[in-house]
Copies of this chain bind each other. A is one copy, B any other.
């Protein structure tokens, strides 16, 4: 069975060194806004600022990342201060009068955009606050994490209290994304605060509910696919949106489920479910011609509405790298180690900035040529990449300890 102990040591060291020497410092050095607080993510390839507007998602995400690194590798001062600065920026500037978080802000903290129908800002604020609370013992952050979680549930239940989209009546739909985010939030809250009760259930109960819904509503054994969207009776909607698959996203869901197997010390049903999703969506996403994970594919192999469907984004590769390593860890099945190596090599070849500008590029054409040389924007910042390095390093460390 590959990997050997020696190979694991080398791999682990590579994850650790790249994370601590290159990825984590890049955003501390270039992203942290020491004047106004919080973090900038719109950075050019050399780390220079190309847009001073701030992503609200990334205040929570960066708080999570640097608090998590602090938990794993020791609370280095800058990491804790950066995480705290992001949470302060959220608290002081990013809340509308009714408490709902905005989506983007000016550098100084004036609101630019609100997306009332969505609660992704809340979800990242939740995990950032929880991880920070665990790192520092900050009671207020722990309470805020719970409050963000409850807000998330409320928005999910009420649609943000805004007039529903027209299609809600004509063609009711359910999405995978809100379920997955809920799963990740509940796992993080439990890891940091214990299996607390929030919104009327324990974290573990939320996790079980979500996984049941994923299996019942979105997994289609006859089609060998995990859908992104289904109808109200879990039916496949034979339209562009309904047929659209996002293999990297489904594989992220797979590793959240496999992580649950790891946490529980084994669970045959969840193991089978996570592996099934990973296997099917690897088949649907891996590009046999150019390598890498395609961004969108169509359930029936028809053209996808989005003209960038063929592109290669950094994050599906991060998710696939975690999922395959974790699958190998849980099963010892060599084929997962091979896939792990395959996605790792392809993504390093394509996304790593060999000129040493720091962090990864994010967007490549199908053939692996980089399509934009920025290192961050409102969607790319210190999250998927450090999470991958950290998760894989910790998993290998755990394995090597045994």
Given known contacts A44-B303, A50-B240, A167 and B310 CB-to-CB distance under 8 angstroms: no
**Closest residue on chain B to residue A362 by CB atoms:** B307
**Closest residue on chain B to residue A373 by CB atoms:** B303
Chain A contact residues, majority secondary structure: loop
Cβ of A293 under 8 Å from chain B: no
User: Are B371 and A309 interface neighbours, CB within 8 A?
Assistant: yes
Residue of B52, B112, B167, B239 touching A52 (CB-CB under 8 A):
B239
State A44–B308 Cα separation when bound (angstroms). Answer: 17
Nearest CB in chain B: distance from A244 CB, A: 11
Number of copies of this chain that the complex holds: 2
Chain A stretch 280-306: residues in CB contact (< 8 A) with chain B: 302-306
Contacts of A371 in B (CB 8 A): 307-310, 366
State A243–B400 Cα separation when bound (angstroms). Answer: 51
State A307–B51 Cα separation when bound (angstroms). Answer: 16
Chain A stretch 365-402: residues in CB contact (< 8 A) with chain B: 365-366, 371-374, 377-378
State A113–B164 Cα separation when bound (angstroms). Answer: 10
Contacts of A114 in B (CB 8 A): 165-166
Residue of B106, B170, B239, B303 touching A110 (CB-CB under 8 A):
B170
Please encode chain A, from 32 to 57, with 1 for each CB lying within 8 Å of some chain B CB and 0 for all others: 00000000001011000011110000
Given known contacts A110-B170, A167-B113, A170-B112, A307 and B308 CB-to-CB distance under 8 angstroms: yes
Given known contacts A52-B239, A102-B166, A372 and B171 CB-to-CB distance under 8 angstroms: no
Residue of B165, B240, B304, B363 touching A307 (CB-CB under 8 A):
B363
Contacts of A305 in B (CB 8 A): 42, 51, 374, 377-378
Contacts of A307 in B (CB 8 A): 308, 311, 313, 362-363, 371-372
Chain A contact residues, CB within 8 Å of chain B: 42, 44-45, 50-53, 102, 106, 110-114, 165-167, 170-171, 239-240, 302-311, 313, 362-363, 365-366, 371-374, 377-378
Closest 3 CB pairs of A and B: A307-B363, A303-B374, A308-B308
27 contacts between A and B (CB under 8 A): A42-B240, A44-B303, A50-B303, A51-B305, A52-B239, A53-B240, A102-B166, A110-B170, A111-B166, A111-B167, A112-B167, A114-B166, A240-B377, A303-B372, A303-B373, A305-B374, A306-B372, A307-B311, A307-B362, A308-B308, A308-B311, A308-B371, A309-B372, A310-B371, A310-B372, A365-B366, A366-B371
Q: A51-B239, A51-B305, A112-B171 are in contact. List 8 more A-B contacts (CB 8 A).
A: A42-B240, A106-B171, A303-B374, A304-B372, A307-B362, A307-B363, A308-B371, A365-B365
